[in-house]
């Protein structure tokens, strides 16, 4: 137990083990006292007892045994430390120049051309990473007066010392941790580890590449093809859960193509789901198939108890290989294609019928001056193909566009007013497109939402009002004032847009309450009804399309 206590740094764990040790000692002392008393009263003759023998060891090796022995030497433990802010150089800021590989922030849900997530992009999910995987602090509320430590896992993929892990394992509030140390499987017990340099990281996929110096080739993991993984396949996870190094757990692939975070934050994170036990400290470690190949990087778990509940998520190896190859390149960053649009993350059949397409992605916003705008695409267009490849949903569009390099030209098929059309779009650089979009949002100022007389309650369950007289020129529509619970409008989700501006119904523009009542009066049971809604506080941010079939 002494060596175990030497490795454990979690106060909660140490307290638990200490409590168990104290209870055991008390029970043992009580047993000795009782036995001594009884020993004074009588003695048992045990001459007829047969001594036990330790049999020869039996080899019960399974494929799991073999794979664990073969792959464990390339799994590493990663220890990070972030210094108090006041202890850092005040002349150069907390970190000086940001490390290469940063992809910046996304600009809204459903960015259909590659959408990363910055430090704040993952919201509560990122907080979950910090608390339950890296065992580090909440980076949205850093304790600037104290040192902050974090633990995680990783694995070697190049004998010259290149290591893959999760970005959140090495992340701190303003970039990466001040100290990153890697401990190998064959390093002596209690060793301080080896200093690691950050080669690059990609926030959009939560991946990072580290490098350590070595005088001899290191053992490496063999990468597999995650497309070959099937639901029900056996897998093994290796890592350092709760600082218990080189722990091996087994389970199956429970599902594929899981998107945990909605919108732009999860556009590049489509996970393998597994029930192999994954716990705090496993993050960044490998998920290995029965051929001994890495098919995923253990990244997250779903939990209501701060521990494993049999739902873990690993980023597929095909995504990992693509990101790794770019991060070790000359620029140490991931380059993704973009066309400068946003789209509704969730479509419905009523929207598709009204706008005249069967499958595809409806554009809700086009960034001015960006590739899509220059090619003539507009909000309300539905992209149905790219270079002849059908687009079924947003994932298809993101995967195809982001895989292209800036400067590539693609043919985009789209439906406008029920007619199929084509245009050629020159792919842009995602980083630059996002930066321009953010700058445009910061410059944009919308009108204040005000209530005006002339309310109109309708059978759809919506109460609307005209725009105030001081509304900016060019802004049109009616303001959503209230939604009747249980009504048609409530059922299709318009209640989430209270205060929003309805600018069209079934593609018919609305300028005032009279237009609204005229269009609604012509609707009948069984009609598809699609509302086009904008945010009056930020009318250039994009349109939302909500629809359903009128009962």
Give the Cα separation of 32 and 497 in Å (integer).
72
pLDDT at 198: 94
pLDDT at 154: 95
pLDDT at 147: 56
Q: Above pLDDT 70, what percent of the chain?
A: 73
- Summarised one tens digit per residue, pLDDT across range 4-29 is 333 433 333 333 333 333 334 444 44
Mean pLDDT, to the nearest integer, of 45-71?
91
- Summarised one tens digit per residue, pLDDT across range 222-246 is 999 999 999 999 999 998 877 777 8
pLDDT at 48 over 80: yes
pLDDT at 322: 94
Residue 521 appears among annotated catalytic residues: no
Give 152's DSSP letter.
E
**Which residues partner with 387 through β-bridges?**
none
pLDDT at 315: 94
Give the Cα separation of 251 and 236 in Å (integer).
6
b/e for 326-360, b at 16 or more Cβ within 10 A? bbeeeebbbbbbbbbbbbbbebbebbbebbebeeb
pLDDT at 87: 43
Give 111's DSSP letter.
B
Active-site pick, 102, 109, 254, 283: 283
Give the Cα separation of 368 and 540 in Å (integer).
9
pLDDT at 171 over 60: yes
pLDDT at 521 over 80: yes
Which residue reads 């700058």 in tokens?
A: 439
**Which residues partner with 548 through β-bridges?**
529
Residue 395 appears among annotated catalytic residues: no
Alpha-carbon torsion (21, 24, 30, 35), positive or negative: negative
Residue 168 appears among annotated catalytic residues: yes
Mean pLDDT, to the nearest integer, of 47-67?
91
Give the Cα separation of 52 and 65 in Å (integer).
28
pLDDT at 137: 43
Among the listed residues 347, 236, 214, the one whose alpha carbon sits nearest the alpha carbon of residue 289: 236
The band of 362, judged by pLDDT with boundaries at 50, 70 and 90, is confident
- Residue 135, Cα to own-chain centre: how many angstroms? 18
User: Is the pLDDT higher at 147 or at 410?
Assistant: 410
- Summarised one tens digit per residue, pLDDT across range 247-304 is 899 999 999 988 877 666 677 888 999 998 888 788 899 999 999 999 999 998 877 6
Active-site pick, 109, 150, 153, 168: 168
Alpha-carbon torsion (426, 432, 434, 439), positive or negative: negative
pLDDT at 22: 35
Active-site pick, 202, 206, 381, 515: 206
pLDDT at 116 over 90: no
pLDDT at 85: 54
Answer yes or no: pTM beyond 0.85.
no
Neighbours of 54 (CB within 10 A): 5
pLDDT at 319 over 70: yes
**pLDDT mean across residues, the chain:** 77
Q: Is 542 left (phi over 0), alpha (psi -120 to 50) or beta?
A: left
The band of 135, judged by pLDDT with boundaries at 50, 70 and 90, is very low
Q: What angle do CA 436, 344, 391 make, to 5 degrees?
A: 95
User: Is the pLDDT higher at 126 or at 424?
Assistant: 424
pLDDT at 142 over 80: no
pLDDT at 422 over 90: yes
pLDDT at 39 over 70: no
Among the listed residues 6, 74, 10, 2, the one whose alpha carbon sits nearest the alpha carbon of residue 241: 10
Domains of the chain by range and CATH?
Answer: 74-212 (2.40.10.10), 222-327 (2.40.10.10), 337-443 (2.30.42.10), 456-549 (2.30.42.10)
pLDDT at 31 over 60: no
- Summarised one tens digit per residue, pLDDT across range 330-350 is 999 999 999 998 887 666 778
pLDDT at 305: 66
């Amino acid at each position: 137990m002494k060596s175990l206590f030497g490795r454990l740094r979690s106060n909660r764990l140490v307290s638990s083990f200490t409590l168990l040790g104290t209870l055991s000692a008390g029970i043992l002392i009580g047993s000795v006292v009782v036995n001594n008393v009884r020993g004074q009263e009588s003695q048992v003759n045990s001459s007829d007892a047969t001594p036990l023998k330790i049999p020869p060891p039996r080899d019960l090796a399974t494929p799991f045994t073999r794979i664990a022995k073969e792959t464990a030497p390339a799994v590493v433990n990663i220890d990070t430390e972030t210094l108090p802010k006041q202890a850092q150089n005040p002349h150069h800021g907390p970190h000086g120049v940001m490390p290469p590989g940063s992809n910046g922030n996304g600009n809204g849900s459903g960015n259909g051309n590659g959408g990363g997530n910055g430090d704040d992009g993952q919201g509560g999910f990122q907080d979950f990473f910090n608390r339950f995987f890296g065992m580090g602090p909440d980076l949205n509320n850093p304790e600037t007066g104290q040192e902050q430590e974090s633990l995680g896992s990783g694995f070697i993929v190049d004998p010259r010392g290149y290591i893959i892990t999760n970005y959140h394992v090495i992340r701190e509030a303003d970039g990466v941790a001040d100290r990153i140390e890697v401990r190998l499987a064959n390093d002596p017990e209690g060793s301080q580890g080896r200093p690691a340099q950050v080669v690059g990281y990609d926030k959009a996929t939560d991946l990072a590449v580290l490098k350590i110096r070595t005088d001899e080739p290191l053992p490496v993991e063999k990468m597999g093809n995650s497309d070959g993984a099937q639901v029900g396949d056996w897998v093994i996870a290796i890592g350092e859960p709760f600082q218990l190094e080189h722990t091996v757990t087994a389970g199956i692939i429970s599902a594929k193509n899981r998107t945990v975070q909605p919108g732009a934050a999860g556009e590049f994170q489509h996970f393998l789901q597994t029930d192999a036990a994954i716990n705090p400290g496993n993050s960044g470690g490998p998920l290995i198939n029965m051929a001994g190949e890495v098919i995923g990087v253990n990244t997250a778990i779903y939990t209501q108890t701060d521990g494993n509940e049999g739902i873990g998520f690993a980023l597929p190896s095909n995504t990992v290989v693509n990101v790794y190859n770019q991060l070790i390149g000359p620029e140490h960053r991931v380059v993704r294609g973009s066309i400068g649009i946003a789209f509704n993350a969730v479509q419905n059949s009523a929207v598709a019928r009204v706008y005249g397409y069967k499958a595809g992605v409806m554009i809700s916003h086009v960034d001015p001056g960006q590739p899509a705008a220059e090619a003539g695409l507009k909000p309300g267009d539905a992209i149905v193909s790219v270079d002849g490849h059908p687009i079924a949903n947003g994932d298809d569009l993101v995967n195809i566009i982001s895989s292209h390099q800036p400067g590539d030209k693609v043919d985009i098929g789209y439906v406008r007013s029920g007619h199929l059309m084509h245009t050629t779009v020159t792919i842009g650089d995602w980083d630059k497109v996002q930066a321009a979009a953010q700058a445009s949002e910061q410059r944009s100022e919308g009108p204040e939402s005000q209530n005006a007389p002339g309310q109109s309650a309708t059978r759809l369950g919506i109460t609307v009002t005209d725009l105030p007289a001081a509304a900016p020129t060019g802004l049109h529509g009616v303001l959503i004032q209230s939604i009747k619970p249980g009504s048609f409008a409530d059922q299709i989700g318009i209640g989430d847009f209270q205060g929003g501006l309805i600018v069209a119904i079934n593609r018919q523009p609305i300028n005032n309450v009279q237009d609204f009542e005229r269009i609604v009066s012509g609707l009948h049971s069984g009609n598809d009804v699609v509302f086009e809604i904008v945010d009056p506080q930020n009318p250039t941010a994009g349109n939302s399309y909500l629809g359903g079939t009128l009962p």
